[in-house]
C-alpha cells in the first residue's frame, strides 16, 4: 500500500516547519507548499530560509502565487467591510477562502490526500462525522479562526500540532536544527506588517469626515472618516472630556461617530448572520454553549436562538465592545460548533 501523500502549507515560520517534520517522521510522503499572497518586502529572505528548512527535512518545496486571489478575496473584502462600518477579521477570511478554499482544492487536484498546516487546533473523527476541537495548548488555540471549516474540508485536513504546546514545538525545532527555531512570531495582519491600519485604510478607502456625538446626539467634535475607527476604540478621538470616551457605534447612514462611557460599551445581546456549522447543520442541543466575540476575548456562556439562517445570542454576562463584522464562534466544551459574523448589537 502506498504512503499517504500530503502537502504542508509552509510560511517559513516554526509552527509549519515543525508540522512538516512531524509528518515526515510519521511516514507520510510530504511536500511543502508556500503561498505568495502579497507584496511582502521580506519575501525573498523568508523563502530562502524556507528552502533551507525543506532541504534539511529532505522534502520538496512548491511555490504558488495567489496574489491576485488574495487581493480580491481578502484585501478588497477587508477594505470594503471597513468602508461599511464593519471590523472584519482577515485571518478568518483567509483561512476560509484561501488556505482551506483555493489551496485545499489545488492540493487535492494534484492527487494529495491531505493538506496540513501549523494551526493549533484538533480534528477528530466521530460516528457523527469530523469534529473541530480546541488545541491542547489553550493559550495558543486557533480554533476560533477555523470555525468555517465543514465536513468536506476537515476530512482532508491534518493539524499535527494539535496536542503540542508552543514550548514543545520550539524545543523540537531546536533539536531538529531548523533555522526557524529562533524566529519571532508575527502578531499583526500579514499585509499590514507595521500594524498602521489608519495609513493602510487611507490608501485604499475614500474617507469622508463627519460629526462625533454622544448617545443623546450632542455634538462633541469631528472625525476623520468612519473607517478609521472601531467599536471600543479610545485613542485618537481628538476629544477633550472629563471622562474617558470610547467608540460605541459607527452610524454609516448619518456618517456620525457615536461615543460614550465604558459602561455604555457593555452589551448582552447581538444578532449574527452568515452562519457556518462544522457538522453541516445547526446544533440540535443548544445547552451549555459558550461563545467568543473576538479571538482575544474569553469564552462566555450564552443562550443561542437560530432562525432562518440567523442567530440571536444572549450573553449571561454583558460583554465589552460587541463589534459588527467580527466573527462570533460557538463552543460546547472543547468542541467548535461553528459561528457567524456579528451583525448588530441589540440594546
Whether the Cβ atoms of residue 273 and residue 325 lie closer than 8 Å to each other: no
User: Do 238 and 170 lie in a common domain?
Assistant: no
Closest by alpha carbon to 237, among 264, 263, 216, 213?
Answer: 213
User: Do 34 and 90 lie in a common domain?
Assistant: yes
User: Do 83 and 154 lie in a common domain?
Assistant: yes
Q: What is the pLDDT of residue 1?
A: 42
Binned at pLDDT 50, 70 and 90, residue 183 comes out as: low
- Per-residue pLDDT averaged across 216-244, rounded? 93
Into how many domains does the chain fold? 3
Percent of the chain surpassing pLDDT 90:
86
Residue 94 among the catalytic residues: yes
Would you tell me how many other CB atoms lie within 10 Å of the CB of residue 254?
11
User: Do 201 and 311 lie in a common domain?
Assistant: no
Write the pLDDT tens digit of every residue in 109-153.
989 999 999 999 999 999 989 999 999 999 999 999 999 999 999
Closest by alpha carbon to 8, among 102, 92, 119, 93?
Answer: 119
- Per-residue pLDDT averaged across 48-70, rounded? 95
338 found inside a domain: yes
192 found inside a domain: no
Q: How are the residues of the chain apportioned to helix, strand and coil, as percentages rounded to the nearest 5?
A: 30, 30, 40
User: Do 167 and 242 lie in a common domain?
Assistant: no
Domain end, chosen from 261, 286, 315, is at 261
220 found inside a domain: yes
From 54, 79, 91, 94, the catalytic residue: 94
Q: What 8-state DSSP symbol labels residue 148?
A: T
User: Do 178 and 206 lie in a common domain?
Assistant: no
User: Do 223 and 308 lie in a common domain?
Assistant: no
Domain end, chosen from 212, 237, 261, is at 261
User: Do 151 and 49 lie in a common domain?
Assistant: yes
User: Do 339 and 242 lie in a common domain?
Assistant: no
User: Do 21 and 83 lie in a common domain?
Assistant: yes
Instruction: Specify the higher pLDDT residue, 46 or 95.
Output: 95
191 found inside a domain: no
User: Do 31 and 161 lie in a common domain?
Assistant: yes
For residue 182, pLDDT beyond 80: no
Q: What is the pLDDT of residue 40?
A: 87
What is the model's pTM? 0.94
All residues at 6 or more sequence positions from 248 whose CB lies less than 8 Å from its CB, including other chains: 215, 231, 258, 259, 260, 264, 265
Binned at pLDDT 50, 70 and 90, residue 326 comes out as: very high
- Per-residue pLDDT averaged across 25-53, rounded? 93
Q: What is the pLDDT of residue 185?
A: 59
237 found inside a domain: yes
Residue 79 among the catalytic residues: no
From 54, 79, 91, 190, the catalytic residue: 190
Strand partners, 290: 301, 331
Strand partners, 278: none
- Owning domain of residue 144: 5-182
Q: What is the pLDDT of residue 151?
A: 98
User: Do 10 and 156 lie in a common domain?
Assistant: yes
Give the lowest-confidence range in 35-49, 103-117, 208-222, 282-296. 35-49
Amino acid at each position: 500500500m502506498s504512503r499517504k501523500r500530503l502537502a504542508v502549507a509552509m510560511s517559513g515560520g516554526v509552527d509549519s516547519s515543525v508540522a512538516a517534520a512531524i509528518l515526515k517522521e510519521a511516514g507520510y510522503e510530504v511536500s511543502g507548499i508556500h503561498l505568495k499572497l502579497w507584496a511582502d518586502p521580506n519575501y525573498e529572505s523568508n523563502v530562502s530560509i524556507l528552502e533551507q528548512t525543506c532541504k534539511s527535512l529532505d522534502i520538496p518545496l512548491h511555490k504558488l502565487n495567489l496574489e491576485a486571489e488574495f487581493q480580491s478575496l481578502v484585501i478588497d473584502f477587508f477594505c470594503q467591510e471597513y468602508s461599511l462600518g464593519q471590523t472584519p477579521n482577515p485571518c478568518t477570511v483567509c483561512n476560509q477562502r484561501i488556505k482551506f478554499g483555493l489551496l485545499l482544492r489545488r492540493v487535492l487536484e494534484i492527487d494529495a490526500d491531505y493538506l496540513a498546516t501549523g494551526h493549533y487546533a484538533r480534528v477528530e473523527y466521530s460516528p457523527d462525522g469530523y469534529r473541530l476541537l480546541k488545541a491542547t495548548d489553550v493559550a495558543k488555540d486557533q480554533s476560533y479562526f477555523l470555525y468555517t471549516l465543514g465536513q468536506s474540508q476537515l476530512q482532508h485536513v491534518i493539524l499535527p500540532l494539535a496536542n503540542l504546546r508552543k514550548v514543545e514545538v520550539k524545543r523540537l525545532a531546536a533539536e531538529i536544527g531548523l533555522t526557524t527555531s529562533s524566529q519571532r512570531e508575527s502578531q499583526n495582519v500579514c499585509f499590514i506588517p507595521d500594524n498602521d491600519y489608519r495609513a493602510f485604510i487611507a490608501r485604499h478607502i475614500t474617507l469622508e469626515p463627519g460629526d462625533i456625538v454622544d448617545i443623546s446626539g450632542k455634538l462633541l467634535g469631528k472625525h476623520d472618516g468612519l473607517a478609521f475607527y472601531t467599536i471600543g476604540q479610545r485613542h485618537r478621538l481628538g476629544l477633550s472630556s472629563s471622562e474617558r470616551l470610547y467608540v460605541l457605534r459607527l452610524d454609516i447612514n448619518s456618517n456620525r461617530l457615536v461615543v460614550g462611557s465604558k459602561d455604555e460599551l457593555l452589551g448582552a445581546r447581538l444578532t449574527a448572520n452568515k452562519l457556518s456549522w462544522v457538522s453541516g447543520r445547526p446544533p440540535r442541543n443548544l445547552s451549555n454553549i459558550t461563545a467568543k466575540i473576538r479571538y482575544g476575548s474569553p469564552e462566555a456562556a450564552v443562550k443561542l436562538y437560530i432562525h432562518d439562517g440567523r442567530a440571536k445570542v444572549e450573553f449571561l454576562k454583558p460583554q465589552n465592545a460587541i463589534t459588527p463584522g467580527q466573527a462570533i464562534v460557538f463552543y460546547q466544551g472543547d468542541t467548535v460548533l461553528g459561528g457567524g459574523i456579528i451583525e448588530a448589537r441589540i440594546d
